[in-house]
Amino acid sequence: MKYPAFSPAYQPENSRCEFSGDSQQPFKFSQFFAKLGQVLLAWFAPDNEPTITQVIDRQGQVWWRVDDPRTHHSYWVESETAVMIWLENN
């Protein structure tokens, strides 16, 4: 009795034995290196703009969090006016 798995022409119905060709391989590498370049650029040349987030605590009080990427500090203030003053002074 012959076993179909040993026959060189046998291919199971659910398996795919296709090669996508060499044309797709460089495309994948170029995507990888493009993403790697973006990550390295963000790591070595980070954005120096502060980020401002509005936070509402459990009591319903509105707070503003200012994250300064230059100093790596976060500042919490109670009003938009205080945020504007902080931005003007820094």
Query: What is the tens place of the pLDDT at every residue in 25-57?
Result: 555 777 887 888 887 777 776 678 888 999 999
The pLDDT value given to residue 27: 59
To the question of pTM greater than 0.85 for the whole model, the response is no
DSSP state of 5: G
Three-class secondary structure of residue 59 per DSSP:
coil
The pLDDT value given to residue 35: 85
* Pairing mode, strands 51-56 and 73-77: unpaired
The pLDDT value given to residue 83: 93
The dihedral built from the CA positions of residue 43, 49, 50 and 56, taken in this order, carries a sign that is negative
Widest distance between CA atoms in the chain: 87
